[in-house]
Copies of this chain bind each other. A is one copy, B any other.
Amino acid sequence: CFCLQMGWDLMAAQGMLFPNFYTANPLCSPSRAALLTGRLPVRNGFYTTNAHARNAYTPQEIVGGISPDEILLPQLLKKKDYVSKIIGKWHLGHRTQYLPLKHGFDEWFGSPNCHFGPYNNSVCPNIPVYNNSEMKGRYYEEFEINVKTGIQPHPNLFEGLDFISQQAVAQRPFFLYWAPDATHAPVYASKCFLGKSQRGRYGDAMMELDDSIGQILAHLVSLGIHNNTLVFFTSDNGAAVMYGPLQSGSNGPFLCGKETTFEGGMREPAIAWWPGRIPAGTVSYQLGSGMDLFSTSLSVAGIHPPDDRVIDGLDLSPVLFNNSLLDRPIFYYRGNQMMAVRIGQYKAHYWTWSNSWEEFNKGINFCPGQEVPGVTTHTQEEHTMQPLIFHLGQDPGERYPISVESKEYRDVLRQVTAVVEQHQTDLIPGMPQLNMCDLAVMSPPGCEQLGKCLKPPEPNPWKCDWPHYLVSYP
């Protein structure tokens, strides 16, 4: 094994680090839909109205997917002849009409969902893996994943490097959306990295990811296109901390993790790299969002964003190239509910919730080892009349609500109220796409080619109930 193991450090040393960067949602599917549309899930439809403040995503039984009315980044990039590829997890719907090649991508190697499993394929099929529109097999079958022996080769790094090479040689502009999911439970790493970190299997997967970042950057340099390429690293949600020690990440000083609107659920690592354009070794305190990648990419490519809809993403070019600071709020949504908002250093919680007592008592814990009374509540608590306000600079762990009797509280509340009222007045929610489930949709397009179709049951749709699952991994 040849391991660089210095992707992130190198990227930060040569680029710009964003300690105040957020995902648009604390769960994968809505976060990714927002990344590619530049719009909050509540606008682009990646949410459910089946229950209040309930995250939804695209499991195998989901009927919906990304709406045909949404315009995705690769569709817009075509205006300037960009070739677009997604490698890895898609997660915007797995039925024919929702797949990446129907939404602007020219190429795809990966799967519509995570590598959950292995499943008993007589009842629930394993997740398919595609090369473009061709189904090449399934995880745990043709695409082996063995979390104990780690013999799964690293997810698609080489397809990524190869794609970059091809475009460089052809001198074509390109967009690579590299979306590995090895750090998603069940976490795995290739043999080369398994057992190599100090941090168990999760650390092994992180080490491999770090190495891959380094390889991608080195590849760009070796092709001589580094001065012409914007690379951005970030994540689609905070580390999951509910899977026990082997499968959970860590959100460091932040509260809770994935699924929640506390900082641990939505604050993300983020680094931008573009040698010669972005000043090396810099730190920007800009409040950023994954949705900004949509707007920034368009700006860099010289393409106007759509003007017939609200775009939540911000063009970060002035930040990247001139170290400007742009004033903007960050909204924290959980499903259909705006739970919190951040302006400047202040975050106001309008609703708090970790998960229900019922789920918590079954052992599902979104905040293991952490508890802030009145904040990490197990009932959905409304604070709209008197939001809980934290100063995230002085109190990154959201442990000390600012006294409602202080001048500081009143001043912040006044500012926050104006921002929230504006947001809610202007907001026209999109049609929710994640309300219906049906076991009949679990057999994906393409299985015929492989002779691996499973006879689907008769259609029998129901309103998805979106439980927070207790998943037990080795």
Task: Select one of B203, B369, B371, B395 contacting A393, CB under 8 A.
Answer: B203
Interface residues of A in 381-399 (CB under 8 A from B): 391, 393-399
The answer to whether A245 touches B395 (Cβ under 8 A) is yes
**Which chain B residue has the least Cβ–Cβ distance from A390?**
B245
Say how far A348's CB is from chain B's closest CB, in angstroms: 16
**Cβ–Cβ contact A245 & B391, under 8 A:** yes
A202 interface hit (Cβ, 8 Å): yes
Residues of B within 8 A of A396 (CB): 199, 250
The interface residues of chain B lying within 8 Å CB-to-CB of A197 are: 393
Contact B245 A394 (CB under 8 A): yes
- Say yes or no for A185: interface residue by CB 8 A criterion: no
Whole-angstrom distance between the alpha carbons of A352 and B199 in the complex?
A: 24
On whether the beta carbons of A198 and B370 are closer than 8 Å, the reply is no
User: Bound state CA distance, A395 and B397, in angstroms?
Assistant: 19
Distance, CA A285 to CA B398, complexed state (A)? 31
In the complex formed, the residue of B with least CB distance to A395 is: B245
**What residue of chain B has the Cβ atom nearest to residue A244's Cβ?**
B400
Of the candidates B371, B395, B400, the one whose C-beta lies within 8 Å of that of A371 is B371
CA–CA, A253 to B252, complex, Å?
4
Among candidates B245, B252, B285, B372, residue contacting A198 with C-beta atoms closer than 8 Å: B285
Tell me the A347-382 residues at the B interface (CB within 8 Å): 368-372
CB-defined contacts of A245 to chain B, threshold 8 Å: 391, 394-395, 399-400
Residue of B368, B369, B391 touching A200 (CB-CB under 8 A): B391
Q: Quick one: which of B246, B391, B398 contacts A394, CB cutoff 8 A?
A: B246
Cβ contact within 8 Å between A202 and B394:
yes
Chain A, 254-271, contact with B by CB distance < 8 Å: what is the 0/1 string?
010000000000000000
- Tell me which residues across on chain B come within 8 A of A395, comparing CB atoms: 200, 245
Q: Does A149 contact B (CB under 8 A)?
A: no
Q: How far is the CA of A200 from the CA of B395 in the complex (A)?
A: 8
In-complex Cβ contact of A250 among B203, B371, B397 (8 A): B397
Check if A324 is an interface residue, CB within 8 A of chain B: no
Whether A345 sits at the interface, judged by CB under 8 Å, is: yes
Question: B198–A345 contact, CB under 8 A?
Answer: yes
Task: Give Cα A370–Cα B368 distance, bound, in whole angstroms.
Answer: 9
**Chain B residues within 8 Å of A400, by CB:** 244-245, 368
Instruction: Closest B residue to A373 by CB, please name it.
Output: B369
Tell me how far the C-beta of A78 lies from the nearest C-beta in chain B, rounded to whole angstroms. 40
The residues of B that contact A199 with a CB separation of less than 8 Å are: 393-394, 396
B372:A369 contact, CB within 8 angstroms: yes
Contacts of A255 in B (CB 8 A): 369
Give the residues in chain B near A252, CB-CB below 8 Å: 252-253
Name the interface residues of A220-265: CB closer than 8 Å to any CB of B: 244-246, 250-253, 255
- Return the chain B residue nearest A365 by Cβ: B399
Is the beta-carbon distance between B368 and A369 smaller than 8 angstroms?
A: no
Pick the 10 closest A-B CB pairs, nearest first. Answer: A200-B394, A369-B399, A245-B400, A245-B395, A198-B393, A250-B253, A245-B394, A252-B252, A369-B372, A371-B371
4 more A-B residue pairs beyond the given contacts A203-B393, A244-B400, with a C-beta to C-beta distance below 8 A: A246-B394, A250-B396, A369-B398, A369-B399
Residue contacts A-B, CB under 8 angstroms, 28 given: A19-B198, A197-B393, A198-B345, A199-B396, A200-B391, A200-B393, A200-B394, A201-B394, A202-B394, A203-B393, A203-B394, A244-B400, A245-B395, A245-B399, A245-B400, A246-B394, A250-B253, A250-B397, A251-B253, A368-B372, A368-B397, A368-B399, A368-B400, A369-B372, A369-B397, A369-B399, A370-B370, A371-B371
